[in-house]
A and B are shown apart, each in its own frame.
Chain A
């Protein structure tokens, strides 16, 4: 029900589709197979072969998969003139001679098929037929072939190496920072204002509203926002200012209640914490907005903080907040919503700055060390980009034969 999530979920759905295909491909053709029955030698001889069969049929275990899949590939009939192929059908059996069933059908431009839903470590035989209308022309039987599951996706080797380097960089700098080094961090103007914003609310005797967006913990941005909430709650506890946190996700609510309670306890004011100020509103995007708008116009907070993942609701919230005269500081990694916060808020943390914020506010050496690790990796990314551009350019003007950086970006 999150509008604007369209594209995001479309990406996720893309991955889902692939999984679905696998099941669909294995399920759907079943009725068709029943209709066609198993082809026999007699069948293929009976149909007058104006069509040539597919050539050079090959079957191999599918690489880098979870198992149960076999790649079938072929070449178009040698004698294409004999008649236009309209489609190919793939037949499978666990015996070389009998029991072939129709497992799939593809259009004439395709020359491969992934057969899924098989038993691992079992021998299978295949035949591929070129078809036009009612006519089918079968290839010879190919096999046996056995499908096996794999323990490592070699196409993701580059990603694994990158993850290992990244983890190493973070751990090295965190350990280094633990040794008590002074670490520099550049100014983040929005966060410098945090103290003033809390102070202003205290002076005016008005509450502070803290909004962590609509996402759950599954978005890392929410975790970053929760870490920042801990620092903010310490300040409100110190200044004795009311902190209101309406939540859109019940688990986030549970965690945020703990975080705020802990911050108040740490500042020696556990009695000032009120469970009713960190509460669940609703998961529904614009129902949540309706509720928060109501809180804004009735409680008139002096300061509003938006941290975390936001969708289309960002501007409705920020404009209502600005109309009640609140100082607003936003921080989000949602690229599409940043422009709206930038236009309506006093300060905006852009993208990665949100993740740097908890280190910046707490000044804990360990967290600052992590930031240094991030920067190191970022430098590496920049260098790889330059190298990649050089390689691509050399390859396209023909100075080198192949783009030597390509394997680095391969995607599995």
Chain B
């Protein structure tokens, strides 16, 4: 029996992978099957997890969480309300009364909109502000070496960009190009050396300054009602740079777990189903 179920799972797995080549009847079959099965699954699960214990059982069987409740009692009415609101949703099946369904939607939309204010202010604004309002001096900086290195690289890249692209130096011939690169490298190295000297005193935390500048820059990028020029424009550009590094990091960070999933499926096919490997 286990082998039959495993084989069904394996064949469905292969059907989905066949989509990588192109759309085909096997994929269509698996797709329609999973849409139907999962829609049915959720209908059943939601009924037994919410409607049955919260409405059906208290209203009709007069039992709530295993305890008996009185017909017409406060708890009974409180269980009846979501039932009535739920029935209102079904007014859509009768176009003439469809508008009654809006009452239920009003409760639903309003309730969740209300949850989208105070906790959001706390978690997304105040907490983040607190975490980022760091001291930029007189604190330990475990990332100092990396920060200095990164800033050195930024100086090098910025110099190269300014000299070659903006000033058009070095576009003429190879020798000039190498010269410009050398100059930039020296500037970058010097920058790194100076920064290392500064951070070795342990007074200023460049890492924390970077954190603050990054956040201010990102916030500036999201200003909508002003033109991005001058100081705002500069900060917004810094913000975009930080955003892009952040997005790159998220991308690279996610690859690992996605590959793990693929390894899991391959292992299911080769090990659990075919027993090709031990």
Touching in the complex, A and B, CB below 8 A? yes
Query: B50 within 8 Å of A by Cβ?
Result: no
Q: Using C-beta atoms within 8 Å of the partner chain, give the interface range for chain A.
A: 35 or more
A201 → B minimal CB distance (Å): 21
Q: Do residues B23 and A294 form an inter-chain contact, with CB atoms below 8 A?
A: yes
Query: A178 within 8 Å of B by Cβ?
Result: no
**Complex formed: what's the CA distance from A391 to B135 in Å?**
8
Which A residue's beta carbon lies closest to that of B134?
A392
**Complex formed: what's the CA distance from A294 to B216 in Å?**
43
Which residues of B245-273 have CB atoms within 8 Å of chain A's CB atoms?
Answer: 246-248, 250-251, 254
Interface size in chain B (residues, C-beta < 8 A):
64
Query: A255 within 8 Å of B by Cβ?
Result: yes
Query: B79 within 8 Å of A by Cβ?
Result: no
**A405-B31 contact, Cβ under 8 Å, with A220-B113, A336-B250, A371-B224:** no
Query: B18 within 8 Å of A by Cβ?
Result: no
In the bound complex, residues from chain B placing their C-beta under 8 Å from that of A298 are 23
**Complex formed: what's the CA distance from A374 to B222 in Å?**
10
**Complex formed: what's the CA distance from A384 to B129 in Å?**
8
In the bound complex, residues from chain A placing their C-beta under 8 Å from that of B228 are 186
B99 → A minimal CB distance (Å): 10
Query: B96 within 8 Å of A by Cβ?
Result: no
**A283-B38 contact, Cβ under 8 Å, with A340-B251, A389-B136:** yes
Q: Do residues A385 and B39 form an inter-chain contact, with CB atoms below 8 A?
A: no
Q: Do residues A339 and B251 form an inter-chain contact, with CB atoms below 8 A?
A: yes
Query: B16 within 8 Å of A by Cβ?
Result: yes
Q: Do residues A396 and B139 form an inter-chain contact, with CB atoms below 8 A?
A: yes
**A389-B212 contact, Cβ under 8 Å, with A158-B126, A294-B23:** yes
Q: Do residues A293 and B31 form an inter-chain contact, with CB atoms below 8 A?
A: yes
Which A residue's beta carbon lies closest to that of B235?
A382
Hey, what's the 0/1 contact readout for A341-366 against B, CB within 8 Å counting as 1? 01100000011110010000000000
Query: B30 within 8 Å of A by Cβ?
Result: yes
Q: Do residues A290 and B35 form an inter-chain contact, with CB atoms below 8 A?
A: yes
B101 → A minimal CB distance (Å): 7
Q: Do residues A251 and B108 form an inter-chain contact, with CB atoms below 8 A?
A: yes
Q: Do residues A338 and B250 form an inter-chain contact, with CB atoms below 8 A?
A: yes
Q: Do residues A290 and B16 form an inter-chain contact, with CB atoms below 8 A?
A: yes
Which B residue's beta carbon lies closest to that of A387?
B133
**A396-B137 contact, Cβ under 8 Å, with A375-B226, A381-B129, A385-B129:** yes
Which A residue's beta carbon lies closest to that of B92?
A254
Kindly identify which residue among B101, B115, B129 contacts A409, using a CB–CB cutoff of 8 Å.
Answer: B129
Q: Do residues B247 and A281 form an inter-chain contact, with CB atoms below 8 A?
A: no
Interface of B is mostly: helix
In the bound complex, residues from chain A placing their C-beta under 8 Å from that of B243 are 350
**A391-B133 contact, Cβ under 8 Å, with A336-B250, A338-B247:** yes
Stretch at the interface among B58-66, B116-124, B161-169, B193-201: B116-124
A169 → B minimal CB distance (Å): 12
**Complex formed: what's the CA distance from A395 to B135 in Å?**
8
**Complex formed: what's the CA distance from A381 to B126 in Å?**
9
**Complex formed: what's the CA distance from A397 to B137 in Å?**
7
**Complex formed: what's the CA distance from A339 to B252 in Å?**
10
Q: Do residues A335 and B250 form an inter-chain contact, with CB atoms below 8 A?
A: yes
B173 → A minimal CB distance (Å): 36
Kindly identify which residue among B123, B225, B227 contacts A183, using a CB–CB cutoff of 8 Å.
Answer: B225
**A281-B35 contact, Cβ under 8 Å, with A223-B109, A350-B243:** yes
Q: Do residues B225 and A372 form an inter-chain contact, with CB atoms below 8 A?
A: yes
Q: Do residues B136 and A393 form an inter-chain contact, with CB atoms below 8 A?
A: yes
In the bound complex, residues from chain A placing their C-beta under 8 Å from that of B35 are 281-282, 287-288, 290-291
Kindly identify which residue among B125, B132, B247 contacts A162, using a CB–CB cutoff of 8 Å.
Answer: B125
Q: Do residues B41 and A393 form an inter-chain contact, with CB atoms below 8 A?
A: no
Q: Do residues B34 and A287 form an inter-chain contact, with CB atoms below 8 A?
A: yes
**Complex formed: what's the CA distance from A393 to B28 in Å?**
61
Hey, what's the 0/1 contact readout for A62-85 against B, CB within 8 Å counting as 1? 000000000000000000000000
A378 → B minimal CB distance (Å): 6
A244 → B minimal CB distance (Å): 15
Spell out B's residues near A (CB within 8 Å): 16, 19, 22-23, 27-28, 30-32, 34-35, 37-39, 41-42, 89, 92, 101, 105, 108-109, 112-113, 115-118, 120-123, 125-127, 129-130, 132-139, 212, 215-216, 219-220, 222-228, 243, 246-248, 250-251, 254
Complex A-B, nearest 8 residue pairs according to Cβ-Cβ distance, in ascending order = A388-B133, A409-B130, A284-B38, A287-B38, A339-B247, A396-B135, A392-B135, A339-B251
Can you identify 14 A-B contacts, CB atoms within 8 angstroms? A11-B123, A159-B118, A159-B122, A160-B118, A217-B109, A293-B19, A294-B32, A298-B23, A375-B223, A381-B219, A382-B216, A388-B130, A396-B139, A408-B126
Spell out A's residues near B (CB within 8 Å): 11, 156, 158-160, 162-163, 166, 183-186, 216-218, 220, 223, 251, 254-255, 280-284, 286-288, 290-291, 293-294, 297-298, 335-336, 338-340, 342-343, 350-353, 356, 368, 371-372, 374-375, 378, 381-382, 384-386, 388-389, 391-393, 395-398, 405, 408-409, 411
Known contacts A159-B118, A336-B254, A384-B133; 9 additional CB pairs below 8 A are A159-B121, A218-B115, A251-B105, A251-B108, A339-B248, A381-B129, A382-B220, A391-B133, A409-B127
